[in-house]
Amino acid sequence: MRTIELGHTRIDKVTEMELLWMEPGWLYPTYEPWMAERHADALGPTLIDPVSGKLALSFHSYVIRTPGRNILVDTCNGNDKPRPPSMAWQHMLKSQDYLRNLAALGLGATDIDIVLCTHLHSDHVGWNTQLVDGRWTPTFPKARYVFSRSEFEHWAQVLAGRPGHRVGHGSFQDSVLPVVEAGQVDLVDAGHTVATYLDERVWLEPAPGHTAGHVSVHVQGPRGKAILSGDIIHHPIAFHEPSLYSVADFDRAQAAQTRRYLFEHCVDANALLLPGHFPAPSAGHVLRCSHGGFRFRFLDASR
Ligand SMILES: [Zn+2]
């Protein structure tokens, strides 16, 4: 993804895992093979593999840079984290790609001022911590980690109700609580302003459904608006088949409502959408179709 410049504020993508081909029936429980056939032409072989029918997903963060603040949004899977067989792609990773890609943008771990997590699923909190001398240690030592209060409290209650349970496949214990214990977490309410510069602003909006306290990150500058949508939508096929819901959705009806609202808002505000798992170039615009539905047009990767 090329750098998105909204004024003095700019946004880049930081890739951890460029491409993972995922069984569609695992991600979307009501998925049917005819859906791939129906939308293969519209989506193309970079999004649906024409032989296996698998869906292309990417794991990446975005970094928003305002004058004075470097804000990292979502932190992917992370290294050295034990995960169950159903989450094999994130089990005990040993990759330097993520920190290397961050460094390629001129950013070291100590340059990150704020880490935002749209929600606290394991593939959005992984690089919050890394293993140092056998202890989970905040990867970004100078950062404030900003979490939605309702999201954090939801998972804390899950743990309180089942002591010893590996919440979020263990990610709550290895990637969230150590940062809390280090005193680096700020729990905030929806609407929270993360950063401002002149008339440019970064803030959180409630986007519940995928998880109880999921938020989206809105960025407004003189040259336009961008919305970092976390897991409100996982794959572009969901534009074409709006009945699909993710296996991980906490409240399907609310998730569908939030998704629909996001699409309408992107169209109305002509906002650029930056989802958490769309393959490169990842960002694009939502377009309204004549039949009342929506489709997605990726940004031209070459520009
Ligand atoms: Zn998620």
Which pLDDT score, from 0 to 100, does residue 14 have?
98
CA–centroid distance, residue 158 to ligand 1 (Å) = 16
CA–centroid distance, residue 185 to ligand 1 (Å) = 20
Q: Which domain holds residue 59?
A: 4-298
Which pLDDT score, from 0 to 100, does residue 261 have?
97
166: CATH? 3.60.15.10
CA–centroid distance, residue 264 to ligand 1 (Å) = 21
Which pLDDT score, from 0 to 100, does residue 300 have?
82
What does pTM read for this prediction?
0.96
The 10s digit of each residue's pLDDT in 52-67 is: 999 999 999 999 999 9
The encoded tokens of residue 145 equal: 């980690």
Residues paired with residue 138 on neighbouring β-strands, in sequence order? 129
User: How far lies 96's CA from each of 32, 100, 102, 130, 266, in Å?
Assistant: 37, 6, 10, 12, 34
Between CA 121 and CA 125 the distance in angstroms is 7
Radius of gyration of the chain (CA): 18
The 10s digit of each residue's pLDDT in 175-197 is: 999 999 999 999 999 899 999 99
In this structure, are residues 143 and 114 in contact, taking their beta carbons and an 8 Å threshold?
Answer: yes
In the block, tokens 């572009």 appear at: 236
| Listed residue (243, 246, 300) closest to 229, CA to CA | 246
3-class SS of residue 79: coil
Between CA 28 and CA 298 the distance in angstroms is 22
In this structure, are residues 185 and 138 in contact, taking their beta carbons and an 8 Å threshold?
Answer: no
CA–centroid distance, residue 154 to ligand 1 (Å) = 14
CA–centroid distance, residue 231 to ligand 1 (Å) = 5
Between CA 165 and CA 83 the distance in angstroms is 13
In this structure, are residues 129 and 83 in contact, taking their beta carbons and an 8 Å threshold?
Answer: no
CA–centroid distance, residue 225 to ligand 1 (Å) = 23
3-class SS of residue 139: coil
Which pLDDT score, from 0 to 100, does residue 41 have?
87
CA–centroid distance, residue 8 to ligand 1 (Å) = 30
Q: What would the mean pLDDT of 219-241 be, rounded to a whole number? A: 97
The encoded tokens of residue 91 equal: 């089990």
Between CA 33 and CA 38 the distance in angstroms is 9
Between CA 43 and CA 140 the distance in angstroms is 37
pLDDT tops 70 at residue 302: no
Which pLDDT score, from 0 to 100, does residue 292 have?
84
CA–centroid distance, residue 48 to ligand 1 (Å) = 20
CA–centroid distance, residue 213 to ligand 1 (Å) = 11
CA–centroid distance, residue 105 to ligand 1 (Å) = 26
CA–centroid distance, residue 199 to ligand 1 (Å) = 31
CA–centroid distance, residue 249 to ligand 1 (Å) = 8
CA–centroid distance, residue 275 to ligand 1 (Å) = 11
Which pLDDT score, from 0 to 100, does residue 136 have?
98
Confidence of residue 301 (pLDDT cuts 50, 70, 90): low
Residue 303 lies in a domain: no
The 10s digit of each residue's pLDDT in 273-287 is: 999 999 999 999 999
Residue 99 lies in a domain: yes
Between CA 63 and CA 204 the distance in angstroms is 15
The 10s digit of each residue's pLDDT in 171-180 is: 999 999 999 9
CA–centroid distance, residue 131 to ligand 1 (Å) = 23
What is the DSSP-derived secondary structure letter of residue 245? -
CA–centroid distance, residue 288 to ligand 1 (Å) = 25
CA–centroid distance, residue 248 to ligand 1 (Å) = 6
Q: What would the mean pLDDT of 103-112 be, rounded to a whole number? A: 98
Q: To the nearest whole number, what is the mean pLDDT of the chain?
A: 96
The number of domains in the chain is: 1
CA–centroid distance, residue 233 to ligand 1 (Å) = 9
Residue 241 lies in a domain: yes
The 10s digit of each residue's pLDDT in 239-267 is: 999 999 999 999 999 999 999 999 999 99
Which pLDDT score, from 0 to 100, does residue 286 have?
97
The 10s digit of each residue's pLDDT in 113-149 is: 999 999 999 999 999 999 999 999 999 999 999 999 9
Q: What would the mean pLDDT of 205-228 be, rounded to a whole number? A: 98
CA–centroid distance, residue 36 to ligand 1 (Å) = 23
Residue 101 lies in a domain: yes
